[in-house]
């Protein structure tokens, strides 16, 4: 190809001399906001292998999630070695499927966003290694993403679909099996990236972890959140076998704590031998593969249902009270709730009621975008991409990377 002659030629040639050659096009592309950008997101921080293509950080062209729940179920929680092995098995077909659903080839992707952390190191490494390899082979920019920032963007992705964007500053609660953390979210600069300030976090178990542990001790299988959510709703007005008071945390009033509640459920069950037979019958049902809500409901006494309801009331009250207190303190314009536990029906309705009463809009992702997925990673990557925050072949997993 012939290059243009004369002065026109000098500017790109000089730029190319100053920047490493592979840096130049991605920086130019990032700055040109008139060109649409399609980012392939890759997520492998825990027990979901996920890939998605998102256009301009807002429009989901495809999203594919391969869950490993069936692999980890019999251990009652995520087994890190098995998670890494499963990611290795799934990553290639999952990325292929995401591209095919978006009607794209690998070459059509403009950049690759990959979860850098926090998460399980072996699991993260699978996604990172694959993402780096793709970026190198295709000569496309690589954008490292903080998994928690992904959860924040899940809310914006959903809001975009419904045509109403959350106003900032916002208070964001990220509540999942691995995290329970409260941030203040503000707009930071002109690329649409956010600025975060951590307001509080759990001192021990994450809320989802408490759900999973309580479900396990009650013989209700794994993961605990979805089944306890439904059983709590079935308890109706059965009298409470035990009451759990509000959790007190010394120091920061916006910190959470769930291990005391989990232990209180454990002690209550131990002190009441009448629970033992039904727990055993549910464990036997689970061993036969009977883990559906309708099957387990038949094996739950009214007392167990009421116990589950009281546990959920305590978790929801704690999450909503502290988040709404933070929103009030900071005069936040909106409240964002994301992460696996954000799928909880009672949490959603309680937040909505409290938000309405306080005049604060509350935003959730759909259930599919609440739990781990790669659309949220591709969306978060887009704004980092615009800000020119790229990774290179030295990118490594950071299991405890902080958002703020
Ligand atoms: O975000 P996620 O998919 O993975 C992590 O990053 O942890 O969240 C999974 C967690 C599990 O602990 C699961 O029990 C919980 O979210 N979960 C729920 C519900 N659905 C999932 N907890 C309460 N109610 C639900 N409906
Ligand atoms: Zn997550």
Distance of CA 193 to the CA centre of its chain: 18
Ligand 1 in reach of 118 Cβ (< 6 A): no
CA distances (Å), 255 to each of 10, 206, 246, 251, 342, in order?
A: 57, 11, 13, 8, 18
Mutation test residue for ligand 1: of 309, 341, 351, 403, the one with most atoms within 8 Å of CB: 341
Give the ligand with the smallest distance to the CA of 348. 1
Upper half-sphere CA count for residue 234 (Cβ side, 13 Å): 19
Average pLDDT over residues 281-291: 97
Of the two residues 236 and 256, the one the predictor is more confident about is 256
In the structure, what pLDDT confidence band is assigned to residue 13 with cuts at 50, 70 and 90? very low
Instruction: Find the farthest-apart pair of alpha carbons in the chain and give their distance in angstroms, rounded.
Output: 90
> What confidence tens digit (pLDDT) does each residue in 109-161 have?
999 999 999 999 999 999 999 999 999 999 999 999 999 999 999 999 999 98
pLDDT at 277 over 80: yes
- Nearest alpha-carbon partner for 325 in 200, 209, 205: 200
Ligand 1 in reach of 178 Cβ (< 6 A): yes
pLDDT at 361 over 60: yes
Distance between Cα 228 and ligand 1 center (Å): 11
Distance between Cα 148 and ligand 2 center (Å): 7
pLDDT for the residue 218:
98
In the structure, what pLDDT confidence band is assigned to residue 6 with cuts at 50, 70 and 90? very low
In the structure, what pLDDT confidence band is assigned to residue 21 with cuts at 50, 70 and 90? very low
Q: What is the rounded CA–CA span in Å between residue 71 and residue 78?
A: 9
Average pLDDT over residues 289-316: 98
For residue 44, give both structure tokens. 């492998």
Of the two residues 19 and 271, the one the predictor is more confident about is 271
Give the ligand with the smallest distance to the CA of 78. 1
Neighbours of 33 (CB within 10 A): 12
- Least confident stretch, 123-132, 212-221, 243-252: 243-252
Distance between Cα 177 and ligand 1 center (Å): 5
The torsion angles phi and psi of 146, rounded to 5 degrees, stand at -80, 125
- The answer to whether the beta carbons of residues 122 and 84 sit under 8 Å apart is yes
For residue 12, give both structure tokens. 């790109």
* Residue found under tokens 């190191």: 121
- The answer to whether the beta carbons of residues 390 and 26 sit under 8 Å apart is yes
> What confidence tens digit (pLDDT) does each residue in 164-216 have?
899 999 999 999 999 999 999 999 977 889 999 999 999 999 999 999 999 99
Distance between Cα 163 and ligand 2 center (Å): 24
Mean residue pLDDT of the chain comes to 92
The torsion angles phi and psi of 231, rounded to 5 degrees, stand at -65, -35
Ligand 1 in reach of 119 Cβ (< 6 A): no
**Which ligand 1 atom sits closest to the C-alpha of 47?**
4
- Nearest alpha-carbon partner for 374 in 42, 134, 38: 42
Distance between Cα 224 and ligand 1 center (Å): 8
Ligand 1 in reach of 340 Cβ (< 6 A): yes
Show Cβ contacts of residue 300 under 8 Å, excluding neighbours closer than 6 positions.
231, 234, 278, 282, 308
> What confidence tens digit (pLDDT) does each residue in 49-73 have?
999 999 999 999 999 999 999 999 9
Neighbours of 311 (CB within 10 A): 26
Ligand 1 in reach of 177 Cβ (< 6 A): yes
pLDDT for the residue 16:
35
pLDDT at 80 over 90: yes
Q: How do 193-201 and 180-188 pair as beta strands? A: antiparallel
In the structure, what pLDDT confidence band is assigned to residue 228 with cuts at 50, 70 and 90? very high
Burial call 226-261: b when 16+ CB within 10 Å, e when fewer: bbbbebbeebeeeeebbebeebebeeeebbbbbebb
Q: Whose CA is nearest to atom 19 of ligand 1?
A: 225
Q: Whose CA is nearest to atom 3 of ligand 1?
A: 371
Neighbours of 270 (CB within 10 A): 11
pLDDT for the residue 25:
62
**Which ligand 1 atom sits closest to the C-alpha of 175?**
1
**% of the chain exceeding 70 in pLDDT:** 93
pLDDT for the residue 335:
98
For residue 109, give both structure tokens. 């992707």
């Amino acid at each position: 190809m012939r290059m243009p002659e004369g002065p026109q030629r000098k500017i790109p040639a000089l730029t190319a001399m100053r920047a490493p050659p592979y840096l130049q096009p991605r920086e130019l592309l990032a700055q040109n906001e008139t060109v649409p950008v399609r980012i392939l997101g890759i997520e492998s921080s825990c027990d979901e292998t996920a890939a998605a293509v998102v256009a301009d950080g807002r429009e989901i062209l495809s999203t594919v999630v391969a869950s490993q729940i069936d692999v980890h179920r019999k251990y009652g929680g995520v087994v890190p070695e098995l998670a890494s092995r499963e990611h290795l098995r799934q990553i290639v077909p999952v990325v292929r499927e995401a591209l095919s659903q978006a009607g794209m080839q690998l070459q059509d992707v403009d950049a690759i966003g990959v979860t850098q952390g926090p998460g399980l190191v072996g699991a993260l490494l699978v996604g990172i290694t694959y993402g780096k390899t793709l970026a190198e082979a295709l000569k496309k920019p690589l954008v490292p993403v903080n998994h928690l920032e992904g959860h924040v963007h899940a809310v914006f992705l959903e809001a975009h679909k419904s045509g109403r964007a959350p106003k900032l500053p916002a208070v964001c609660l990220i509540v999942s099996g691995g995290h329970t953390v409260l941030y203040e979210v503000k707009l930071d600069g002109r690329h649409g990236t956010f600025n975060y300030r951590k307001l509080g976090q759990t001192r021990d178990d994450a809320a989802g972890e408490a759900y999973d542990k309580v479900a396990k001790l009650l013989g209700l299988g794994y993961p605990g959140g979805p089944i306890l959510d439904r059983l709590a709703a079935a308890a109706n007005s059965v009298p409470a076998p035990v009451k759990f008071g509000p959790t007190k945390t010394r120091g920061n009033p916006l910190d959470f704590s769930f291990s005391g509640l989990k232990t209180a459920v454990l002690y209550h069950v131990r002190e009441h031998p009448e629970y033992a037979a039904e727990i055993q019958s549910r464990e036997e049902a689970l061993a036969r593969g009977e883990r559906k809500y309708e099957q387990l409901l038949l094996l739950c006494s009214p007392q167990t249902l009421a116990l589950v309801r009281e546990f959920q009331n305590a978790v929801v009250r704690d999450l909503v009270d502290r988040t709404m207190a933070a929103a009030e303190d900071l005069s936040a314009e909106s409240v964002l709730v994301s992460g696996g536990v954000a799928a909880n029906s009672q949490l959603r309705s309680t937040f909505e009621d409290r938000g309405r009463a306080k005049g604060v809009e509350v935003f959730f992702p759909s259930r599919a975008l609440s739990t781990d997925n790669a659309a949220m990673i591709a969306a978060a990557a887009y704004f980092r991409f615009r800000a020119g925050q790229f990774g290179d072949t030295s990118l490594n997993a950071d299991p405890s990377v902080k958002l703020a």
